[in-house]
Structure 1
Amino acid sequence: MSLNVLFVGGTGQISYSCVQRAVADGHRVSVFNRGQRQDELPPGVTSIVGELGGSEYAALADRGFDVVCQFIVFKREQMAKDIEVFAGHCGQYIFISSASVYEKPASHYVITENTPAVNPYWTYSQAKIACEELLKSSSNLPWTIVRPSHTVRTGLPVMIGDSDIMARRMLEGDPTIVAGDGHTLWTLTRSADFAVPFVRLFGKSAAMNDVFHITNDKAHTWDQIQMAIGRLLGVQAKIVHVPTDTLVKYIPDWVGPLTGDKAWSAIFDNSKIKGVVGDFECAESLEEILEEPILHLHRRLANGRPPRGDFDALVTRICKEQGALGEA
């Protein structure tokens, strides 16, 4: 069944692949954003340019969308505006939240949708939780909440900082940082793999007023991930392990993405989403998962490697000071 679908966002790390899949599955797709990304939309997609919350945005309510996919709401007040705009004006509102909302550390090593959404470390996750709670309390707006974990398309997975700078450091033989001992399990999902079950949620009565995460079933350690990036770049990654608490002393803002996310193992049970949309497959080998991000990296590096700066200097300093521990 072809549905009239709106993507708010549509050109991002996850949403672009979902737009492609929705078109491939025969849906009529419109994309609302500021029109500033370079990725070309698939043929047949209607582009609507405007600002979130502006007059063009309010007018979307009159377009009769069957499904609205919201990828760029990050704050409670933005969610309040969306409820005002779309309540009574769409068949299904899908909010893209985040798997980082789950409690840290999880009370069970396998995360399900019943794992509490409590993250005391990261304001980003707390804002997503507030959006979820407001949406759940709304009326006349059938909703579905989707929580992606770490999903890759153009960017490489690293624990801190700019991934292009970390890749350049690998290429130039400089050390890079992994928080902890490198044995923490982490789940990576290709955006193209995420998109398949995501689009299958469209119009599903069993998906209404419920929460799902969509991730790979396979997890890898952070050391395995960084070593694979090095192999694909043709170099040996030089990893320096630094305790999370130590890293946060250097940059307090790292407490969110580390203590509030990547410092904990993330293994997911996807049986709930599969029970609604059917089985789906995700690439499991790191070589296949990282193939597209590596391709995008090489395209960027062809225009010049990122320059050295303060972040480079800090990474070098941390690696040197960590390496000096225990020396006579």
Structure 2
Amino acid sequence: MTTFGYGAILFGIVTVFGGGVMRVLYVGGTGEISLSCVKESVAAGHDVTVFNRGSRGDVLPVDVTALQGDLRDDATYAALAEKRFDAVCQFLAYTEDDVARDVRTFAGKTGHYVFIASASSYQRPARTHRITEDVPLENPFSAYSRNKAAAETIVLSQSDLPATVVRPSHTIHTRFPTVLREHLLLPWRIENGKPIVTHGDGTSLWTVTRSEDFAIPFVRLLGNPDALGEAVHITSDRAYTWDQLYHGIGACLGKPVDIVHVPTDTIVRYFPELAETLYGDKTASLTFDNSKIKQLAGAFSCAVELTELLAGPAEFYKASGYRPDEDDLKLDARIDAMIEAQRAVGPA
């Protein structure tokens, strides 16, 4: 934990606990997690600004100020910092260089910097199945996870910018959880009676959190002096097997689900690009202890019934009119080839 001096916390901390309107900047703000946080901030009465490329500005609440710009443009970014926001929520930083730049840019100009890290950074292979924030950040399989962990170190080892690190696990809004990252192709396969794949025997546990549930405790952290210098994950307390999740998707679509279990090693032979996400994340059965976030932000609840948990992605899919394009048809054929080979040798 980093201890910050009084002069460093004059902005957001005083504002929010003094009862005033908090001025919050979201770097990102239209993504799978961040959009729900923006909406929750608006509901909490914050004055919200979003800075991004502007490609999805139509999804933002009308009360949000949308600023379009290039995150890589130092002059534009420096001008943004001069607006002196009470809190800055960084959803688009992925490396040490990204957050070091943020520290240089926002130090002395905001009261609370919140860096979005990743729960995938926790130790793999796992030595405990119940994850607390004290579990080491050691993931040798995933460069993404290692980069996020290294960025955390930069954020929490400095004392110029009051900061909190938040580690989401798998958080959904419009996308179903999938093993092969097939996204909309997965419900399309289910609707068309085609088999789908889970790794192993389908019984490994996976924690899925709705973004709107994540957003409630996240927004409560903003301007919270007890959160300064802390790292915390925010997830549901409930985990599901991958077979349960896929049958839940089928229930949302009103379709039976034909699941084929394929060993992780076999999947990686067919889809080497999935090695990081499978070995570095999805193969581990993990659940999360959310005691720390509840101490900092108060009690919160998450959807646990699968039809409620998966309703958002189901509505998005049904409204999308999705039909596989050329790339998805190629992916579809690769999945079929792997399933055919697996079924030829028998169950996983």
**2:172 counterpart of 1:152:** yes
What is the aligned counterpart of 1:120 among 117, 124, 140?
140
- Matches for 1:290-301 after TM superposition, within 5 Å: 290-301=310-321
Q: 2:324 aligns with which of 306, 312, 324?
A: 306
Shift of 1:39: 4.0
Read off the aligned partner of 2:70 and give its amino acid letter.
Answer: E
Aligned to 1:249: 269
Counterpart amino acid of 1:239? I
**4+ residue segments displaced more than 4 Å:** none
Asked if the contact 1:4/1:67 (under 8 Å) is kept, the reply is: yes
Residues 161 and 311, structure 1, Cα contact 8 Å, conserved in 2: no
Measured in 1, the distance between the counterparts of 2:176 and 2:196 equals 13
**Structure 2 residue identity aligned to 1:247:** I
Q: Report the Cα offset of residue 81 of structure 1.
A: 1.4
1:10 paired residue number: 29
Unmatched tracts of structure 2, length 5 or more:
1-18
Per-residue CA deviations over 1:52-103 (Å, capped at 9, x if unaligned) read 1312212112111110000011122212211111112110100001110001
Instruction: State the shift of 1:326 in Å.
Output: 4.4
Match of 2:50 in 1: 31
Do 1:87 and 1:139's aligned partners in 2 also have CA atoms closer than 8 Å?
no
Distance 1:220 1:326 in 2: 25
| Preserved contact between residue 206 and residue 276 of structure 1 (Cα < 8 Å) | yes
Aligned residue for 1:324, secondary structure, equals helix
- Give the alignment partner of residue 112 of structure 2, picking from 92, 98, 102: 92
Does residue 289 in structure 1 map to residue 291 in structure 2?
Answer: no
CA–CA distance in structure 1, aligned partners of residues 333 and 158 of structure 2: 48
Residues 4, 28 of structure 1: 8 Å contact kept: yes
In structure 1, distance between residues paired with 2:262 and 2:199? 5
Q: Deviations over 1:164-188 (max 9, x none)?
A: 0111111111111101110011111
- The equivalent position to 2:66 in structure 1, one of 47, 55, 79, is 47
Question: Aligned AA for 2:69?
Answer: G
User: Residue in 1 aligned with 2:235?
Assistant: 215
Matched position secondary structure for 2:198: strand
| Equivalent pair of 2:57/2:66 in contact (CA under 8 Å) | no
For 1:116 and 1:139, locate their aligned partners in 2 and report how far apart those are by CA, in whole Å: 22
Shift of 1:38: 5.3
Shift of 1:118: 0.7
Deviation at 1:41, TM superposition (A): 1.3
Shift of 1:277: 0.9
Aligned to 1:172: 192
The 2-side partners of 1:122 and 1:151 are apart by 18
Structure 2 equivalent of residue 182 of structure 1: 202
**Structure 1 counterpart of 2:4:** none
- 1:194-233 mapped onto 2 (5 Å cutoff): 194-233=214-253
- The Cα of 1:3 is off from its aligned counterpart by 0.9
Whole-Å Cα distance in 2 between the matches of residues 326 and 53 of structure 1? 51
Residue 156 of structure 2: aligned partner: 136
Q: Distance in 2 between matches of 1:124 and 1:238?
A: 32
Deviation string, structure 1 residues 273-302 (Cα, Å, up to 9, x no partner) = 00011100111111100011100111112x
Amino acid at match of 1:305: R
- 1:21 is aligned to 40
Task: Choose the corresponding residue for 2:77, options 57, 67, 71.
Answer: 57
8 Å Cα contact 1:8-1:71 kept in structure 2: yes
Going from structure 1 to structure 2, the CA distance change for 1:80 and 1:214 (only over 3 Å counts) comes to same
Whole-angstrom CA distance in 1 between matches of 2:252 and 2:92: 32
Q: Tell me the CA shift for residue 306 of structure 1.
A: 1.6
